[in-house]
Amino acid sequence: MAISVAGFRATFPDDKFPQFSGISDTEIQVELDIAIAMIDKNRWEACSPILYESGVYYLAAHNLQLWLNAGGEGSSVSGPRSSDRVGEVATTYQQFSTNNMTEIDIFYRSTPFGFRFLSWMLLIGVGAVIVC
């Protein structure tokens, strides 16, 4: 199956992932294109064609979630929200120990999508590949 915006939306439907409902198809396509360029398709598909496709969708979702966490400005990275308060507005972001973790581990653990992507990278034995 070809990787597409429709596939992304099917993987992350609005009723379960409402944070992506307001993101345009164009923005999603940009992140899909970046994810495709970053992942070594041959190596991922050698494990499983489904894993490659899912990896692309989850890497794109990770990057989109980071963008949303930064208020749509893409200027900062924060962990998953662990508490909210409405009166006098308060939000707390989850903290986790970074002992024995690389910067890549910390980066991908900052969203649930990235955490799953990281687990697949470890399974495959390679990380994302940046194409220059």
Contact between 25 and 71 under an 8 Å Cβ cutoff? The reply is: no
Give 28-58 pLDDT, tens digit per residue.
999 999 999 999 898 888 888 789 999 999 9
Contact between 29 and 5 under an 8 Å Cβ cutoff? The reply is: yes
Is position 1 within any domain?
no
Is position 129 within any domain?
no
Give the domain extent around 25. Answer: 7-72+84-124
The answer to whether residue 82 scores a pLDDT higher than 60 is no
Backbone angles phi, psi at 19, to 5 degrees: -65, -25
pTM given for the model = 0.74
Domain count across the chain: 1
Contact between 117 and 59 under an 8 Å Cβ cutoff? The reply is: yes
Is position 78 within any domain?
no
Is position 55 within any domain?
yes
Backbone angles phi, psi at 43, to 5 degrees: -70, -45
Which helix (H) or strand (E) is 82 found in, with range? strand 81-85
pLDDT value at residue 114: 92
